[in-house]
Structure 1
Amino acid sequence: MKTTLANVTGKIDWLQILFYQVPLEEILSHLMMIDVTCFTIEEAKVKHKDYDLAYVYGDIRVYTTELDTLSETYLVLSGEGCTLFERLLENLGETWKTFFKKLFLEYMGHFKVKRVDLALDDKNEKPFFQVEQLIKKCKKGQFNSSGRTYRLNESKFLGNKTAKTLYIGVRTSDVMFRIYEKDKEQAIKQDIAIEEIGSWKRTEVEVKNEIAESIIRIIAFSDDSLENTIRGFIKKELVFYSTSEMQEVARFWKSYLGKAKALEIEKLYEVTGLHETERWLEFGGAIGAIKAFQFLSEHRALGELKDVQDMLADVEYPRALSNKLVSHLINIGRDDLVKEVYANTKK
């Protein structure tokens, strides 16, 4: 069977987001679209945090406090939690892209992305590379990853055989790579023959803090696929070369990353909630509708329709729009208007 990029899929494999001053029920039922009654409530702790409760739905966990004294909530999706949530999104006709877009458009200024793990799963019968092949490259110094060092972990697999994991970077940094034999890991985990799993090599990158948030923003607003976004980030952060002179990228690595453009995080355009609202007003038809009503008003042709000015006088900001307004005002140094925005926000 031909080795092809069609057999390499992208995956969100871990996600941690800290929310500030957003009601827990709103996160669960509105943002995540899961009925609150689906969750069980358990006593729970998080290292270096004061949480004492967790709302749990399968492997989806949302940490808070019993008295809600912190005004913050911590969403943690493990690998299994991400798989479960992705399945829930698919059932609703949604994707990670639409979920992240909703996160930025409605909650900008009220959350911080703490960690996201991105994975490429190569399930070609003949993979683009073997993990041992990359390990040899590292030992020969035929790789570059912004000065990151490598280490190797081996666990017992079968007889004298081991399951190998190549780490590039360290856990305490904002970017760390794990490249490993997922087929062997799953065979051990499920206690079945590796032949039942099939060939499966995984490249995984653990990303934290501002870089993680930038990547999620790119996933939300770019037209690229999840796979190509991940490839673009890997292409920027990790290169394997043909020789120790490091003049030419190894052919297998070129093929594996395909035509994806290297992701330039520092050049990423800023997308704020109100910028997207502005685009929606301009291109979504709302501005046109307002102009139409103004035209009718100016020509005394409203009939039984309401005048736009009367509607504006009576309307209050929805909470999501209020959050965007507040974030915008803080960003431009007009905190003096925040109280007025909250005064005109729906209770």
Structure 2
Amino acid sequence: MKKEKKDFVFPYSNRGVENTLENGLRACVDWVEATFKTVGTEQLVTDLLQMNFDKFYPDTGRYGYRRSIRCGSISVYFDGQEDMGIHLEMKGRGCREYEGYNLLSWKELFEVFLRYEVSFSRLDIAVDDFKGFFKLKEIQKKIKGRELVSKFKLANIQQSYETRTGLGQGLTIYYGSSKSDIQIRMYDKLSERSNNNYNVPKDINFWNRTEVQLRNERAQTVAKILATEEDGERTIGQTVCGILKHYIRFTIKGKEKNRSRWKTARFWDKFLNGVDALSLSTNPVEPQTVEEKEMWFMNQAAPTYALILDAYGGDPKKMAQLAKYGRQRYKKEHIDMINRFIEKNKEG
């Protein structure tokens, strides 16, 4: 069964993004997790996030919390132990959804959070390379050839393979542990999107992502930079560049035994110079809509629908039976999607 193709929204219309992409690079917030001890669930949604509380629906608990509410890919967990407070989680898609609501910038949002004694437990900053400053196979070769000088003891290289064809599905390189306060990841974002059935624009033929995953104190520090520095968003590239420079350096093999004296590889210098100049950009994506589902149905499932309709002679009872079966499999997000569609049409 073919999977649904999900829309990918490229940020052509966002302020500052055009300049950011002139050198083929873009930086964005790609994960936010934070805990609040002094605010309630509704206050977090309405006063801090400035979202409509009615858009959230009940969902299951996690991370030691018994319950949660959710809007798209933005979740708030609550009803834990007395000292746990409430926990906000915005994964990559949740970050894009929040940007799509056009409420607060990341600087403004983090400023608000910090007024309420927030504890950031995770903050990811992603740098997207659409130009091809380096290829991951080149990085792999450098690592195996001892041409990586790093604070990390290990680099973990992973690649998935399709069992039927034996073809690789994209390379991922990890520096540091996912549980430590900092981890750096490099991976083929274009392959990841394609393999997960996203519709990527045809003019994107290269897309590598370098992610800096920060936890606890380090996440708190970078969030404060974004929130409190006058030009925090415009200098996010300098922050990421400083982290990358401190932890990893790709070199040209020299004659000296001390590898720290080897010259930095030109491609790495060029990449870091590009990152250094980056501003924080936004890449909003609307939550999945009825219109998107309809487009997928037309492209993927319409022939099957017509086949069943014709085979049963257009029997309305059979089609009603199929619809009934589909409704039994609804999830909360499907109900939420329908309600948004109805509300939008009322407003129109």
Q: What TM-score do the two structures reach when normalised by structure 1? A: 0.65
After alignment, is 69-78 or 131-140 more displaced? 69-78
Tell me whether 1:240 sits opposite 2:245 in the alignment: no
Structure possessing the higher relative contact order (Cα contacts under 8 Å, 6 or more residues apart): 2
**8 Å contact from structure 1 (residues 184, 194) kept in 2:** no
Alignment partner, residue 57 of structure 1: 71
68-77 vs 128-137, which moves further? 68-77
Q: CA deviation at 1:259?
A: 6.8
* CA offsets 1:63-97 (integer angstroms, 9 cap, x no match): 0018x845600001111111111222xx23x3111
* C-alpha distance 130-97 of structure 1, shift in aligned 2 (>3 A): same
Question: Does the alignment pair 1:258 with 2:276?
Answer: no
1:170 to 163, 177, 183: 177
1:198 aligns with 2:205: yes
Distance in structure 1 (CA, Å) of the matches to 2:56 and 2:93 = 16
The separation in 1 between residues aligned to 2:47 and 2:84, in whole angstroms, is 18
**Aligned residue among 249, 274, 282 for 2:264:** 249
Q: Considering only CA atoms, is the larger Rg found in Structure 1 or Structure 2?
A: 1
2:33 corresponds to: 16
Cα distance change on mapping 1:193 and 1:217 into 2, 3 Å: closer
Query: SS state of the match for residue 258, structure 1?
Result: helix
Q: Which of 189, 197, 216 is residue 196 of structure 2 equivalent to?
A: 189
Alpha-carbon contact 2:23-2:274 (below 8 Å) kept: no
Aligned-pair distance for 1:196? 6.6
Structure 2 gap ranges (5+):
1-20, 278-348
1:1-347 alignment runs, 5 A limit: 6-46=23-63, 49=64, 51-65=65-79, 69-70=82-83, 72-88=85-101, 91-92=102-103, 94-104=104-114, 106-107=115-116, 110-124=117-131, 127-156=132-161, 159-162=165-168, 163-190=170-197, 197-222=204-229, 223=231, 224-243=234-253, 245-246=259-260, 247-258=262-273
Q: Sort the Cα spacing of 1:191 and 1:14 in 2 relative to 1 into closer, same or farther, 3 A.
A: closer
Q: Tell me by how many angstroms 1:38 deviates.
A: 1.1
1:261 and 1:183 map into 2 onto residues whose CA distance is 23
Amino acid at match of 1:75: L
Counterpart-to-counterpart distance in 1, 2:138 and 2:22: 19
For 1:229-257, what per-residue CA distance to the aligned partner results, in whole angstroms no more than 9, with x for missing partners?
Answer: 32232222221112263422111111111
Report how far residue 260 of structure 1 moved. Answer: 6.4
**Matches of 2:252 and 2:212, distance apart in 1:** 22
For 2:93 and 2:25, the matched residues in 1 are separated by 19
Cα distance in 2, alignment partners of residues 256 and 20 from structure 1: 40
Q: CA deviation at 1:43?
A: 2.7
Q: Structure 1's 57 and 259: CA in aligned 2 closer, same or farther, altered over 3 A?
A: closer
CA distance in 2, matches of 1:195, 1:85: 26
Alpha-carbon distance in 2 for matches of 1:229, 1:147: 19
**TM-score, normalization by structure 2:** 0.65
| Kept in 1: contact 2:158–2:173 (CA 8 A) | yes
- Could you tell me how far apart the structure 2 residues matched to 1:69 and 1:172 are? 25
Matched residue of 2:196: which SS?
Answer: helix
Q: Which residue of 2 aligns with 1:310?
A: none
| RMSD between superposed Cα atoms in Å | 2.6
